[in-house]
Chains A and B, each alone.
Chain A
Amino acid sequence: MKTLLSSKTVESRRQFVVGAASVSSGLAIGLELPWGLAKLSAAPVTEPVLPTSLQSSHPEIGAWVVIEPDDRVIVRVVRSEMGQGTITGLAQLVAEELECDWSKVQVEYPSPGESLRRKDVWGSFSTGGSRGIRNSEDYVRRGGAVARQMLVQAAANQWSVSVSECFASKSFVTHRPSGRKASFGSLAGQAAKLPVPDAKAIALKDPKDWTIIGKPMNRLDSLADKVTGAQIYAIDLKLPGMLTATIRQCPVFGGTVKSFDATAVGGMPGVKKVVQVDNRSVAVIADTYWHAKKAIDKLPIAWNEGPNAKVQQSDIMRSLEEGLGSDQAFVGLQKGDPLNAVKTSKKTIEASYFYPFLNHAPLEPMNATALWTSSSCKAWVPTQDGQASLAAVIEASGLPAAQCDVIKVNLGGGFGRRGAFQDFTTQAVLIAKQMPGTPIKLIWSREEDMTQGRYHPIMMAKMKASFNENKELTGIQMRLSGQSILAAVRPAIVEKSKGMDPLVFQGVAKDGEHAISYDFPNVVIDHAMRNTHVPPGFWRGVNVNQNAIFMECFVDEMAEVAGMDPLEFRRKYSANRPRTLAVLNAVAERMNWTSKPKAGVFRGIAQQFSFGSYVAAGCEISVTSGNKIKIHRIVAATDPGYAVNPAQIERQVSGSFVYGLSALFEQECTVKDGRIEQTNFDQFGVVRLAQMPPVETIILQGGGPTWGGVGEPTIAVAAPAVLNAFYQATGRRLRNVPLKNLGVTLI
């Protein structure tokens, strides 16, 4: 019963089922989204129709698990799948405690509106910060355990025996003394009627007894559909009577709409309406995207660009350079007295680094579909945070929360653009509000997506180190100068920290999940906050991307002065950090670090602790003509504490290097006349298949009470490893990203 959803079938399907057979087992694995599409029409919407399993006839065993009479197990997942495999990992966590047959597991997204109605029963929907697994592992496992306990109780009641004589395994409850068995499906109806036990009182399984967690289970979302193009992403969504809109926002951040002449395009083919969306954007609604796009390209719009139109990239660079030398900065980490260490040193070194603005540039540009009536509003959103989308819908619709909901639709990439920022959702609702009763799909053009982003912050660093007469490191100073994300996005956190952005120190912080992983003798790391008019955002890996380059490349510079091998230097200053040493050693061993590489091949290494995980990467490269880099292999070790699905972790690590190396070699966004210059992938390159080296992933499981993330930690370590290897090959330090500006390319 393979279920495929293509654009041809979407309108006629009773249930909006996305997903298909898991590749090897042939089982139908659906991802059921709320509300039957058959009920949707251009007419005013009636009460929301709940997803199948949320209707009373389907036995819900606790909030997280539904078991159908045919034994299918439906696990609720609220984090968003965007290729990272989180729905599979989360389902494994629930299934482990449930003791169900994995081949019967499906997943579904509850709607954020349903969660709100049920007093936030499923917790945070936010899918970012590498938190999908690590922040919900405890309560979703308990969700599985609660359901198991209810099923076992139902069986014991049915047989009039003691619960202690019964146990669950592979979707059956067995009465040990008599050998009687009952399937989960047969017990579900009775189990659903039992009181839900206290989740916190249930003891979870010892990791050594896990049989589903830690195994490379096949993904529950369909790889086949992605390969064949059958998967429906939000941009592909089609609803009966739907119209398509596209938008033009003031190209200068902070600017507004002065005027526009709708009559100039009103007669163009397919155009239905030209609307002002808010004070900074205008949209054209048409029958198709192409007609909307043609019209908006022709639409005369005058902007009040404001003072930001005078801002040039050179102004921003000057501001950051000034910050490098400023005597005022927020101190993130201080130990000892590095300034005094410089005074008494025999030798000092200094180096400045630069990391640019970056766009998330997901393959699918921003989009959302909304249907507004005077009594309800619903939106179909490719979102990293269903709750944030719903909050945006509530605000933009002007309707009470109970009359709003969001349906999560597959994302064509997220990378941090689609979580904290719901500008596209708000716009879709504001547009739909101007055509009540008609579903409107808003699609941004690629150009709009590139120029209206929430950019990786621009940052410079000045690194200084001092050494004594024995070439031993005596002190290190790291001055960051550049934009704060939190000052713009979460000012409450900055306010709480007395003006400092604690997130800017990710990877070199004094403590926490982004703590520095070296014990240097005297150290100060501070930040001169230099904000720009360009809106910043969380870009996969966030501030670890630049901090890893600044610190890990400079560690190699320091190792050279100290006359030490880069690996030995790292080991020396992380000697008391066993898990950092473990990932470094794992990489070194796999690469046979102490052996001499083949002629013409050079090695580099880097490590990082971020998002609660320990990671290291080593690479082997060769360089031709002094500027063409071939990466032969990358070896990466990662220790997130616990590996829920090792196959998925390997894919995540490889994928993160594609993203990280693309940024290193090809990508930057620059400002001209207050606007972003890069408008498409011809100016914002991506590493191609032929350029991508093989990645060997080593997974370590250090255990411990806190779990680490997977999606982001490794993204930052490939770049410094490559830069360090480049120096070994050429004697040239590359300190400015992207490398294309230095004439260096990846082949």
Chain B
Amino acid sequence: MGISRVQRRVFVKNVLAVGGGLCLLGASRLSALGSQATSNREVPKAVLEWAEGRPLNFGRVQLVLPPLVENGFLVRTSVLVESPMTEADHVQELRLFSEVNPSPFIANFYLGPQLPEARVETRIRLADTQAVWAVARTNKGEFWCSYQQVIVTLAACAG
């Protein structure tokens, strides 16, 4: 199925207008750091809710964030999902989730076979030290995910 080119452009435009800096980019090569997801961490509730009971597969998602950030105001984030991005097999939606932000659902991106690869870069805000989760849904209804731990250093005298 997939979203038409026009619809997707409209969506990107809206995201830019609302998110103020949130954007989709054809990025430079992802670094080898990060996205070594394993299944030994408790999956956030918001992720499970989205999957609605369907199996979550660890892998295929390369999530890259700095492992250490000063205050979490602006955290560069990039995600690359291994997918041929053909009409028959492509990533349809990609979501970012937080474990401890007041709002666990950080962002979603609608992708389609028009894109050469399933890659996004954005900037997110993190309230505290936590793992960020990236979850991709394919046109076949499969869920692929990964997470990465980010240390947000504490403000000096704050609680």
Contacts and interface: CB of A to CB of B under 8 A. Distances in A.
Interface string A403-414: 000000000000
Interface stretch (B17-25, B67-75, B139-147): B67-75
B158 interface: yes
Interface stretch (B38-46, B78-86, B109-117, B149-157): B149-157
B71 A489 contact: yes
B157 A394 contact: no
B159 interface: yes
Nearest to B101: A492
A416 B159 contact: no
B102 interface: yes
A486 B102 contact: no
A401 interface: yes
Interface string A263-281: 0000000000000000000
B66 interface: yes
A512 B156 CA distance: 18
B128 interface: yes
A419 B70 contact: no
Interface string A382-396: 001101101110110
A395 B70 contact: yes
Given A390-B68, A401-B33, A401-B67, A492 B158 contact: no
Interface in A98-115: 112
A721 B159 CA distance: 27
A129 B157 contact: yes
Contact of A402 (B33, B73, B154, B157): B33
Given A116-B68, A492-B127, A495-B102, A538 B159 contact: no
Given A420-B71, A490-B71, A492-B72, A395 B66 contact: yes
Contacts of A400: 31, 33
Nearest to A486: B158
Contacts of B159: 129, 493, 502-503, 512-513
A490 B158 CA distance: 8
Nearest to A120: B151
B105 to A, nearest CB: 15
Contact of B153 (A391, A402, A502, A712): A391
Contacts of B127: 492-493, 495-496
A637 to B, nearest CB: 23
Contact of B66 (A112, A394, A492, A538): A394
Given A490-B158, A493-B158, A385 B71 contact: no
A419 B66 contact: no
B128 A492 contact: yes
B157 A391 contact: no
A385 B153 contact: yes
Contacts of A388: 70-71, 153
B128 A538 contact: no
A387 to B, nearest CB: 5
A495 to B, nearest CB: 6
A126 interface: yes
B20 to A, nearest CB: 15
A116 B70 contact: no
B70 A538 contact: no
Contact of A392 (B70, B73, B151, B154): B70
B33 A394 contact: no
Interface residues of A, number: 43
A124 interface: yes
Nearest to A396: B70
A262 to B, nearest CB: 30
A419 B33 contact: no
B148 to A, nearest CB: 11
A628 to B, nearest CB: 34
Task: Count chain B CB atoms within 10 A of each CB in A391, A401, A416, A503 and give the residue with the most.
Answer: A391
Interface in A442-475: none
Interface in B71-105: 71-73, 76, 101-102
Contacts of B156: 126-129, 384-385, 416, 419-420, 537-538
A491 B102 CA distance: 11
A387 B155 contact: no
Name the residue in B101, B128, B158 with the highest tally of chain A Cβ atoms < 10 Å from its Cβ: B158
A384 B127 CA distance: 21
A542 interface: yes
B102 to A, nearest CB: 5
Contacts of A385: 153-154, 156
A385 B72 CA distance: 15
Given A400-B33, A496-B102, A419 B68 contact: no
A517 interface: no
A422 interface: yes
B155 A391 contact: no
A495 B158 CA distance: 14
A279 to B, nearest CB: 15
A391 B158 contact: no
B70 A391 contact: yes
B78 to A, nearest CB: 12
B158 A401 contact: no
Contacts of A490: 71, 155, 158
B158 A422 contact: no
B71 A542 contact: no
A732 B71 CA distance: 45
Contacts of B69: 391, 394-395
20 contacts: A116-B67, A126-B154, A128-B155, A128-B156, A385-B156, A388-B153, A391-B153, A394-B68, A395-B69, A416-B156, A416-B157, A419-B155, A486-B155, A489-B155, A495-B102, A496-B127, A502-B159, A538-B156, A538-B158, A542-B157
Interface of A: 112, 116, 120, 124-130, 384-385, 387-388, 390-392, 394-395, 400-402, 416, 419-420, 422, 485-486, 489-493, 495-496, 502-503, 512-513, 537-538, 542, 712
Interface of B: 31, 33, 66-73, 76, 101-102, 125, 127-128, 151, 153-159
Report, nearest first, the 9 A-B pairs whose CB atoms are least far apart. A128-B156, A419-B156, A492-B127, A538-B157, A420-B155, A388-B153, A391-B70, A129-B157, A420-B156
Given A128-B155, A391-B153, 4 more contacts: A387-B68, A391-B69, A395-B69, A496-B127
